[in-house]
Copies of this chain bind each other. A is one copy, B any other.
């Protein structure tokens, strides 16, 4: 016990959960927002932006990358990170779909 029982859920449910989970930390939200703000998708001055140690930021970037929410290009010495809109749109579409359905049903209870 302690580990998530992924085998009891569909691939889709697991995938959506992985995307949401990756966004489930304020540092990672801050990283996404920083990548949005900076016009060129500049690299690891993200470390200077956040009040967290470099290894910690690196770990958060890794998790966002594993979830498919960001991409990283090696640019000589540095690494250029940026948002991968495909994964983000997938989650957005999923939530939009639920919102729309709720709109139609309009408070059928509670």
Contacts and interface: CB of A to CB of B under 8 A. Distances in A.
Interface of A: 4-6, 8-10, 13-14, 16-18, 20-30, 32-33, 36, 39-41, 50-52, 71-73, 80-83, 85, 88-89, 91-92, 95-96, 98-99, 101-103, 105, 108-110
Contact residues of A: prevailing secondary structure: helix
B102 A85 contact: yes
A99 B88 contact: yes
Q: How many copies does the complex hold?
A: 2
B9 A29 contact: yes
Given A6-B26, A80-B109, A88-B98, 13 more contacts: A9-B30, A13-B29, A16-B29, A17-B26, A20-B20, A20-B23, A21-B23, A39-B108, A41-B110, A72-B110, A82-B110, A92-B95, A96-B96
